[in-house]
Amino acid sequence: MTLAHSVVLRVFPDDCDAYGHVNQAAYLRLFERARWESLASGPGLELFTPDRGWPVVRRSNVEYHAAAFPGNTLRFDMTLTHVGRSSFSVHQQARREHDHALVASADIFFVCIDRTGRPVTVPNGVRERLGTRPDAPGPPLSYRMEGGRHWVMEERGDGPAVVFIHGFPMDRTMWRMLVPPLGGWHRIAPDLPGFGLSDPGTGQASVGNYADGLAGVLDAMRVERVVLCGLSLGGYVAFEFWRRHRARVRGLVLMCTRPEHDGPDARASRESAIASVHQHGLGALAKAMVPRLLSPSTVSGQPAVAAHLRTMMLDSQPEGVIAALRAMRDRADSTALLGEINVPTLVVAGADDAVIPKVTSRAMAAAIPGARFEMLPGVGHVPPLEAPVASGQLLRAFLGGIG
């Protein structure tokens, strides 16, 4: 059972002991702050009132795993582990944001009481809004489509569907920090053919084939209408999906992407990238791309993000990467589609994106009727990895409006 919201808190010097790291007593306070923040940013503080039932901590167990220091940002995740008649329990974990190391965990047992201090039934909303559905990702689903293309899909949760389409050359794991807190949605993250766990398959890839393949896999999953959230290449696929299957689209989230097709310079650089992969493999591509895709502050402050990006690139299959480079090189221009988009749309840009200039994203948003535009400061081309919490908040607010 999962509480669908995680939060990030910064460690300050007054959280630390004489040895300069966070001590046990401070963790109790930080875990409590994280619970309130999770409630405030998620289900809402009104979930508990003295009239309906108010939780008091009856028992807590905090375990130390690794050190955290002033200035570290810690990500707190919370899981609802038990709901009884008048009690419930949560498990909390705190991880360092820069390297995801688990620094502390806590198990907290609550009893709900009324104004007079007597135990009362746990408010219904706790079961409903803190989430009683299993929310762990299911085992990846594997689909072999006509024409030999292979799609692996990861899915979690239930509710209306939202599909997360990764960028180039990445895979479904680029969403792993952003997706879990979006409870109440059926979240589907494919590996495009040739990336992650999907084989490249045979035949010529095109962005249109990716869009049609996705539609076919959604048919196989019996998912009709979706919100599409695409990053960069994922955005190109979302445009193609819109062109071909727009009746199935409930909303669009276009992250760090552009509607224009490749001009002569971009086509030439696709050719040199293809030649480089042929000659030197994926290592050279990763070396050139990783620093370009991330903001300077991500490169210096979040080495784990750069490492994750590099791993995705090196784990891709060279044939899939070459096929995707050709597909992007030859993709259709989608500029003329923008004015036709009549579903709720969120455009997200990274202020330090060196691949998609801010002006391009802003102009794209302006051309889509009613689109909302959000720019994330200090973020490069991959907001879900570089700023998962801020990106998640944008998404949650947007999806809440579609509901």
When the beta carbons of 157 and 196 are compared against ligand MLT, the nearer one is 196
- Minimal CB distance residue for ligand MLT: 232
When the beta carbons of 321 and 365 are compared against ligand MLT, the nearer one is 321
Residue from 53, 55, 167, 196 that binds ligand MLT (CB under 6 A)?
Answer: 167
Is position 185 an interface residue for ligand MLT (rule: CB under 6 A)? Answer: no
Which two three-digit tokens encode residue 107? Answer: 């198990």
Which two three-digit tokens encode residue 97? Answer: 């944001």
Under 8 Å between Cβ of 125 and 112: no
Neighbours of 173 (CB within 10 A): 19
Sign of CA dihedral 244, 246, 249, 252: positive
Residue from 209, 232, 302, 391 that binds ligand MLT (CB under 6 A)?
Answer: 232
What is the pairing mode between strands 372-376 and 345-350?
Answer: parallel
Considering only residues 242 to 301 of the shown chain, the ones binding ligand MLT according to CB under 6 A are none
Provide CB contacts within 8 A for 128, sequence distance 6+.
none
Under 8 Å between Cβ of 234 and 226: no
When the beta carbons of 95 and 166 are compared against ligand MLT, the nearer one is 166
When the beta carbons of 88 and 241 are compared against ligand MLT, the nearer one is 241
Considering only residues 328 to 347 of the shown chain, the ones binding ligand MLT according to CB under 6 A are 328
When the beta carbons of 68 and 309 are compared against ligand MLT, the nearer one is 309
Considering only residues 122 to 141 of the shown chain, the ones binding ligand MLT according to CB under 6 A are none
Is position 233 an interface residue for ligand MLT (rule: CB under 6 A)? Answer: yes
Is position 168 an interface residue for ligand MLT (rule: CB under 6 A)? Answer: yes
Tokens 């899915």 appear where? 155
When the beta carbons of 3 and 294 are compared against ligand MLT, the nearer one is 294
Considering only residues 13 to 72 of the shown chain, the ones binding ligand MLT according to CB under 6 A are none
Which two three-digit tokens encode residue 202? Answer: 């045979």
Is position 355 an interface residue for ligand MLT (rule: CB under 6 A)? Answer: yes
What is the pairing mode between strands 249-255 and 226-231?
Answer: parallel
What's the CA gap between 122 and 83, in Å, rounded?
A: 8
Considering only residues 369 to 398 of the shown chain, the ones binding ligand MLT according to CB under 6 A are 381
Compute the least distance from the CB of residue 291 to ligand MLT, in Å. 13
Is position 312 an interface residue for ligand MLT (rule: CB under 6 A)? Answer: no
Least Cα distance to 305 among 378, 357, 253 occurs for 378
What's the CA gap between 35 and 42, in Å, rounded?
A: 10
Chain residues in the site for ligand MLT (CB under 6 A): 167-168, 232-233, 328, 355, 381
